[in-house]
Amino acid sequence: MLDRRVAESGEVHPFRLSVEKIVLTQFRSYAHLVLDVGPGPIVLIGGNGAGKTNLLEALSLLAPGRGLRGARMMDMRRRGGEERVWGVSVELSTAGGSIHIGTGTSNKSAGKREVRVQGIQSSSQEGLARELHAIWLTPQMDRIFIDSPGDRRRFFDRLVGGFDPGHSARLVAYQRTLAERGRILRYRPDDSEWLDALERTLSESAVAISAARHEALWRLNTALTSPFGTLFPPAKMELVGVAEDWLRDMPALEVEERLQSAFAAARGEDAERGGAAVGPHRTDLSVRHVAKDMPAEHCSTGEQKMLLVSIILAHARAQSKLFGQTPLILLDEVMAHLDQVHRGALTEALCSLGSQVWMTGTSDELFSNFGSRAQFLCVSGGAVRNLSMRELNL
């Protein structure tokens, strides 16, 4: 289990978390796959539609949530297969020893995702967050700075979850309470006693969520002041939200009281529009290119990509420092639109982190800077095989 007290007691060399074996059963394009890998960087090579991203998605399910695609559970089972269930099983080397994690659906789960750690069923996905953290970067995330506030908020909350294993569960509980309040406002608006209780719970949850975000923000901004070379721009991240603003300027108890009053005052408006006008579900993330003193959304496409890479690298560095264990990093087509200089710089930055990094690409030449430091795998037709150095164009 991840233990921040060990890492924060002094400077330690982080342990490399690594997948040793992954078994897929009726998952996406894989009927059955058993794959053993080494602890270093993994490069998955194959054509479009070969199943490279499917393998990354399977690994992303080691983190709480719905994985890097955000897909429904039923969409993860293999199409055309007779089985209606799917499973992902991994053996991991962690700072606390070897562990086995399994997740998927079963005939008893009624389509809901099950999680098992060391063979014991976990009552929630929080059990995953307490063992490891996985972070990913996909082509769809390249627009994060110009997409909706909700997309940025969800991205940041995944980063927060890497520092605070309970963050995801708090978010789920907050949304459930918010939905319950919405139902009461619609069908029983005069039930002030129940609304008071719900809004008190919402206010307490909101402060806990905002406090976790503030701590993560501090850790990330600290790591971002020391970028991985000149090609990775230093960035400054800020949270834009009422709850976060109040928490910066006043004690937590006072923020809870102000939020509860704000919820109560907005009952009429919230009943009419749905949702709630205030709360951590309205928070946005702002990122600034420090060297250019420019908001990320005004930067070029290439600059936005490098800012995003800088954040991912900073997050991995901050996590390693906090827990004494590196996170699992999943990078889908990350090299595709980088020039040779930036590919080389990213390669060295990833190797210096010491994390096990899983990367995908259509050509091995994009990863030539790794040389023998990476394990190259060919993905095709629902099968994966090792590529020898003689087969590579490095």
Tens digits of per-residue pLDDT, 110-137?
Answer: 568 888 888 888 766 667 777 778 999 9
pLDDT of residue 7: 46
Across 143-168, b (16+ Cβ under 10 Å) vs e yields ebbeeeeebbbebbbbbbbbbbbebb
The SS3 call for residue 2 is coil
pLDDT of residue 231: 82
The SS3 call for residue 359 is strand
pLDDT of residue 394: 67
pLDDT of residue 368: 93
pLDDT of residue 6: 44
Is-contact 350 19, C-beta < 8 A?
A: no
Q: What is the pTM of this model?
A: 0.91
The CA-to-CA distance between both ends of the chain, in Å, stands at: 39
Q: Flag residues of the chain having pLDDT under 50.
A: 5-7, 9-10
Assigned token pair, 288: 């600034």
Is-contact 31 347, C-beta < 8 A?
A: no
CATH 1.20.1050.90 segments of the chain: 142-323
Assigned token pair, 336: 């595709």
pLDDT tens track for 22-58: 999 999 999 999 999 999 999 999 999 999 999 999 9
Phi-psi region of 176 (alpha: psi -120 to 50; beta: other; left: phi over 0): alpha
Looking at the chain, how many residues does it have? 394
Is-contact 214 255, C-beta < 8 A?
A: no
pLDDT of residue 9: 46
Bridge partners (DSSP) of residue 104 are 87, 114
pLDDT of residue 85: 87
Fold entry, domain 142-323: Glutathione S-transferase Yfyf (Class Pi); Chain A, domain 2 (1.20.1050)
pLDDT of residue 3: 58
User: What is the rounded distance in angstroms from the CA atom of residue 291 to the CA atom of residue 294?
Assistant: 8
Assigned token pair, 255: 């923020």
Assigned token pair, 233: 């721009």
Number of other CB atoms surrounding residue 36 within 10 Å: 10
Is-contact 2 76, C-beta < 8 A?
A: no
pLDDT of residue 232: 86
Q: Shortest CA distance to 321 belongs to which of 1, 9, 63?
A: 9
Q: Shortest CA distance to 253 belongs to which of 217, 208, 214?
A: 208
Is-contact 362 47, C-beta < 8 A?
A: yes
List, in sequence order, every beta strand (DSSP E) within 133-251.
134-137, 235-240
User: What is the rounded distance in angstroms from the CA atom of residue 218 to the CA atom of residue 225?
Assistant: 11
Q: Shortest CA distance to 18 belongs to which of 146, 172, 191, 134?
A: 134
In CATH terms, 13-133+327-393 corresponds, of 2.40.30.10, 3.40.50.800, 1.20.1440.230, 3.40.50.300, to 3.40.50.300
CATH 3.40.50.300 segments of the chain: 13-133+327-393
Q: Strands 97-104, 87-94: parallel, antiparallel or unpaired by DSSP?
A: antiparallel
